[in-house]
Structure 1
Amino acid sequence: MIRALTVALASLAPLPALAQAYQCRVPPQIELPAPVRPDGPSLRTSIAGYTLAVSWSPEFCRGKAASDPANYQCNGRIGRFGFVLHGLWPEAAKGPPPQWCAIEPRPSQEDLRRNLCMTPVPWLLEHEWAKHGSCMARRPADYYKVGAILWNALRLPDADHLSRQPGLTAGDLRRAFIASNPGYPRSAIGVKVSNGGWLRELYLCYGKNFVPRACDARSFGPKDAVPLKIWRGL
């Protein structure tokens, strides 16, 4: 399945996945994270679609995460980041999505280096593969390749500029996304915010064939008229 998908998607964007980082310098060596431990049961269900979860890094890095010397995303040791890829998640037609289908093979040092400017957290790369990717691919590299093709096909809006717009709403963010990606359906752009109304993530919804489709109400998030705030960082 993954081979057919990568062939179908290959014309969308080049690899490796380096887009969307303000700047990024991959270190020559990356310390492999500790093996992941499943946080739930193994569920093997049919895949009916996908969610590409895209995080707004400045919001994640508010607080003590920025001072963690092991946190590449926030401590500035390898660069500065705006939007980053949280992960690509297979979804079920109904009920809980597939998860934790396998925890091995583990990602290699080269897998981590190749995708670090897309997802600048080594342990998260492994976690996303084990929890989500192992249910749609046999190898971490295959899972990351599909996510990277989708990621590099996007042109994400300038959230820093949007944050300065008076009266910003969730609809303004969706319209800015469509302006950068003409033809992308508004219904396929989910917005996740914190309790205080700060942007946390975009949820981009796809069908089984990786064509954008309408998000469900939970993934779509606040309606267009709801006020939105975007943290720019220090």
Structure 2
Amino acid sequence: MRQRLGAGLLAAVLTMAASAPGADTAGEFDYYVMALSWSPNWCALEGDRRQSPQCEEDHGWILHGLWPQYETGWPDYCASAERAPSRKMTEGMADIMGTSGLAWHQWKKHGTCSGLAARDYFALSRVAYDKVARPAVFRKLDNAVRLPASVVEEAFLKDNPGLSPDMLTVTCRDGYVQEVRVCLTRGLEPRACGADTRHDCTLDDALFTPLR
């Protein structure tokens, strides 16, 4: 009985270790997911409640993050020998990420798994952000509209001929269009998303709010 209990305890410890922060190895991943968040919708969902400075600016599609992915699953909070970014470095990302706080969080959770120094990770994130055209049509809205989430995907595909439907996904949250997630190789070329990354929103009446 004692031996059986010991084996069970060992299995539990090994499971906890595998899921603990820092258990993933920095630099070992297969591709990136770049997440673009429509700032006015995020502000309506939670940013206003937090009194986030992001919601005081005229942001459209902001860079939520550049996330290392496995073909199935993803690493996070990797043990990294790289130094944490300086405040100046994270503040320098606020123009495309909304706040320096988001930049810091994204480095801690995802950037540490890239195997890159913080400066290089943020530079790569900016290159990825600039590679994908963000449809101007959404910036022209005067009022909140309800639309099929698929319309957002179609707009991105139209403005980015190098993308195909299996290379991006549109997510929703609480009835709002939330994000567009684009899958990229480690060299930032478009590629098909892993099956666990494709979670297309199927709402026909997703809420999309205009710039503030």
TM-score (norm 1): 0.70
Q: Write the deviation string for residues 187-230 of structure 1: whole angstroms up to 9, x where unpaired.
A: 1111110132x111111111333221222344332367844331
Query: Where does residue 44 of structure 1 map in the other structure?
Result: 25
Q: Write the deviation string for residues 57-82 of structure 1: whole angstroms up to 9, x where unpaired.
A: 1111116632655x2211x2xx3111
Q: Write the deviation string for residues 54-108 of structure 1: whole angstroms up to 9, x where unpaired.
A: 1111111116632655x2211x2xx311110011000013344243323862212
Distance 1:231 1:225, change over 3 A: closer
Query: Where does residue 102 of structure 2 map in the other structure?
Result: 124
User: RMSD in angstroms over aligned alpha carbons?
Assistant: 2.9
Point out the structure with the larger helix share. 2
Unaligned 5+ runs, structure 1:
1-38
Are 1:62 and 2:37 an aligned pair?
A: no
Point out the structure with the larger strand share. 2
Shift of 1:175: 1.5
Distance 1:167 1:123, change over 3 A: closer
Identity rate, percent = 26
Are 1:112 and 2:93 an aligned pair?
A: no
Unaligned 5+ runs, structure 2:
1-18
Distance 2:131 2:200 in 1: 25
Distance 1:210 1:159, change over 3 A: same
1:87-166 equivalences in 2 (<5 Å): 87-102=65-80, 105-157=83-135, 158-161=137-140
Q: Write the deviation string for residues 12-59 of structure 1: whole angstroms up to 9, x where unpaired.
A: xxxxxxxxxxxxxxxxxxxxxxxxxxx952112721111001111111
Distance 1:123 1:103 in 2: 21
1:1-234 equivalences in 2 (<5 Å): 41-42=21-22, 43-44=24-25, 46-62=28-44, 65-66=47-48, 68=50, 71-74=52-55, 76=56, 79-102=57-80, 105-157=83-135, 158-161=137-140, 168-196=147-175, 198-222=176-200, 226-232=204-210
Equivalent AA in structure 1 for residue 172 of structure 2:
V
The aligned length equals 191
Distance 1:185 1:148 in 2: 22
Q: Contact 2:65 / 2:125 at 8 angstroms: preserved in 1?
A: yes
